[in-house]
Structure 1
């Protein structure tokens, strides 16, 4: 895919180099955007798209903010036009009136993004543009309407049908391996030796989703440990001194790190599809695997304890109990679980299987949860039922052990 992308880029640059008129170099990016929306020729449109993307890439934050302001204020929908088109459709609901309503209801900035995306490499640049937008929108909430439009487009461009699942191993290209080190968001990879320990042994796997338009950029990846039994501590999984086992002797696949890689794709969900695909592939490759679990951090625990004025107990059993209570009972205002990792796995149909004290001795693990970690179980026979009950009623599936611990956690209040 990388070779094809490079070839397309080279062809484009040779064909369209200099295709834009000299006076366009001196025009504002806003005027260039208007020209692109009004262009009908392929050559001129592609040249304008490349010029706009290059101009944007060279901007500082002030220029980017002004450009997003232009998209917000000048390339949105016109409410009166939308109302008139809807009235016409209600009066005479035919193909023509519906087409007119669709055209009126779609803001021009969506069409601008589609036209920008016509040149090789543009998809990655637009994803980076949305990352800028999300960052700048924190202090400029009016830009949120632009983000909704980009998110709408990206949800289509990056749907599961376009994604490619690729194994990542020690033989993968160096630029991919460098990005795995850079994007790892759960357990930092300290060195190339550390990465090798995660990828090279026969009882280790890593898989990532890629998009044909971004062949050298992982969108999300998961690291998997094959083991005998369910581990209860991350240092057992990542230890330099551990003994690797033959893959065909493992009975458990442990998802111990899932990392989203592209800030500009925030809110576009890949994790559910990734885990299901990896479970299916591993089950086919290694029929001896009977258990699929995570070994997950609990990033919201200490924050919730601080907010509720609850101290983190010193005793391991009491820490497990208060954690079980947190995972099963702590909710946000919208009714969803307080913990973001819990929301992800429970929403995917997993259950809370086991809780382990002193499972993450790293500074980050101590800060987030006092070192407590949790196994979420993906029972293939129960995933759909768990998902439906969680989505419909907010019901959280949990083992009897965790349920008992949660009850004990309430008694310690």
Structure 2
């Protein structure tokens, strides 16, 4: 099988995986979500079964209809989990026992796995009496020479056996992979079942330590990388889907770079990867970058490094941030290889813009002066223009010419959304929140930067450049901490 056939087969297979994944949350709805659906269809709340805690189920003799494991099997599973953290066994033996439980988990149904999550969350908690006593002793010791010792004892008392359990699971070779996948399995059910939150928070804390960027390796992914690694690139690309073998080869060509962070315990699995184009200007649209027939750019003339796709690959590592360090390390690596590079910027989607516009178009129209409102009204065929008339016109963005009042209004709105819209003091748009949090600034809006159906649907085709000015990253972070989003003069000029 040649490279073209192999990549085409892989693309087809992973495209199928993505479609199937989009169906899983509903198909595998836990009991609490099923109850919500019954309420929505008019069923009586009294008719819904009560959800028993694991404490109640462990004391019972019979399994209720919605429960996966019987009380007897639940008790046996708890015994096996407790045996893992038995203080009388060694780390090696604890890891061996954990591996055995992981083997059971691999063959369990989703609802059986959910019962194990509940056991880990509800049955491995800190001793409440010891915590209460240590807290009282610490409070009494504040301001005395014993304060430091009392604080240490209090901190130790609050550490749950759950943490020790997770450490034992991490002891066997595939343990990291197992725990990351377990949390990925669990994440869709957190909102519906708050009992799982204790386990989730514990895992996020442990992962933030185990996957600290100091332990990660930066590696380049190229066309010469192992086939299995290129498969991962196809599978996990989250911004611009890879469509063919030519598409993959284009993204790994001589004028491109792709880098990923890898953990020593998961050496063949990128945790996050970034795709970079090396060109002689700031990119204004994604189509030329994804053009498989285009000749490679002349690296001798490249002055701009454009980050056009950043993809996290592990859902189970949600809340663990790699992006800031990844971009810094990539910039350092690129500067060493290409000293002529002067500008580092992104070409980014604006995923939340069209949804936000649907809710805020009326307020944006009210901010217009009489002249701008009249021009817009004539363009949409209704004066004064209403939010609905403007939104209908916005859905034809790809047909608007440069002088269109609707196009101008969309740029006004996008600038406001990116540079003014805040939630809890942070940028509303998730991509903006990521890059601005890393010290970038909003540099330029690009009309029809992404004319694909996806781009039109989520942002009326607009894309944005975030500029990483290496000398001003700290200044931009300081501005953001004050609730001020750093923007270029061009973006400021678009504010209404």
- The normalised TM-score by structure 1 is 0.88
Q: Distance in 2 between matches of 1:241 and 1:399?
A: 34
The Cα shift of 1:236 comes to 1.3
1:66 corresponds in structure 2 to: 115
2:441 to 348, 351, 354: 351
CA shift for structure 1 position 126: 0.4
After TM superposition, the structure 1 = structure 2 runs for residues 66-215 of structure 1, keeping only pairs within 5 Å, are: 66-91=115-140, 93=146, 97-199=150-252, 201-215=253-267
Whole-Å separation in 2 of the counterparts to 1:203 and 1:300: 31
- Pick which of 232-241 and 40-49 moved more: 40-49
Distance across 2 between alignment mates of 1:397 and 1:242: 35
- The structural deviation recorded for 1:97 is 4.7
Distance, in Å, in 2 between the alignment partners of 1:28 and 1:186 is 44
1:399 partnered with 2:451: no
CA contact (8 A) 2:357 2:413 kept: no
Mapped contact 2:91–2:171 kept (Cα < 8 A):
no
Q: Residue 463 of structure 2 corresponds to which residue in structure 1?
A: 373
Q: Equivalents in 1 of 2:438, 2:162: separation in Å?
A: 33
Q: Which residue of 1 aligns with 2:305?
A: 253
1:51 and 2:100 correspond: yes
Q: Deviations over 1:360-399 (max 9, x none)?
A: 1111111110110000000111111101221x20211111
Quote the Cα distance in structure 1 between the aligned partners of 2:147 and 2:486. Answer: 48
**1:225 match: secondary structure:** strand
Q: Are positions 1:290 and 2:380 aligned together?
A: no
Cα distance in 2 between the residues matched to 1:213 and 1:166: 15
Question: Equivalents in 1 of 2:356, 2:347: separation in Å?
Answer: 20
Q: Is the 8 A contact 1:184 1:259 kept in 2?
A: yes
Q: CA deviation at 1:91?
A: 4.3
Matched with 1:30 is 78
Q: How has the CA–CA distance of structure 1 residues 321 and 26 changed in structure 2, closer, same or farther, with 3 Å as cutoff?
A: closer
Aligned match of 2:89 = 40
Task: After TM superposition, give the deviation of residue 96 of structure 1 in Å.
Answer: 6.2
Q: Tell me the CA shift for residue 240 of structure 1.
A: 2.1
CA distance in 1, matches of 2:90, 2:342: 57
Deviations, residues 35-72 of structure 1 (Å, cap 9, x unaligned): 11114224432220110111122221211111111122
The residue number in structure 2 matching 1:4 is none
Query: Separation in 1 of the partners of 2:312 and 2:344?
Result: 20
SS of the residue corresponding to residue 493 of structure 2 reads: helix
Quote the residue 1:19 is aligned against.
none
Please, which moves more after superposition, 248-257 or 68-77?
Answer: 68-77
Q: Distance in 2 between matches of 1:41 and 1:349?
A: 46
Distance 1:109 1:26 in 2: 17
Unaligned runs of 5+ in 1: 1-24
Secondary structure of the equivalent of 1:259? Answer: strand
Q: Give the counterpart of 1:387 among 474, 477, 482.
A: 477
Aligned-residue CA RMSD (Å): 1.8
| SS of equivalent residue, structure 1 residue 28 | helix
After superposition, the Cα gap between the structure-2 partners of 1:96 and 1:348, relative to the gap in structure 1 and judged at 3 Å, is closer
SS at match of 1:82: helix
Q: Which residue of 1 aligns with 2:419?
A: 328
Report which stretch shifted further, 392-401 or 37-46.
37-46
**Match of residue 20 from structure 1:** none
Q: Secondary structure at the match of 2:422?
A: coil
Runs of 4+ in structure 1 displaced over 6 angstroms?
Answer: none
Q: Which moved more, 1:223-232 or 1:30-39?
A: 30-39
Are 1:299 and 1:368, in contact at CA under 8 Å, matched by a contact in 2?
yes
**TM-score normalised by structure 2 residue count:** 0.74
Unpaired runs of 5+ in structure 2? 1-72, 362-386, 398-403
CA–CA separation in structure 1 for the residues paired with 2:114 and 2:250: 43
Residue in 2 that maps onto 1:15:
none
Q: CA deviation at 1:90?
A: 4.2
User: What secondary structure is seen at the aligned counterpart in 1 of 2:80?
Assistant: helix
Q: Distance in 2 between matches of 1:77 and 1:27?
A: 20
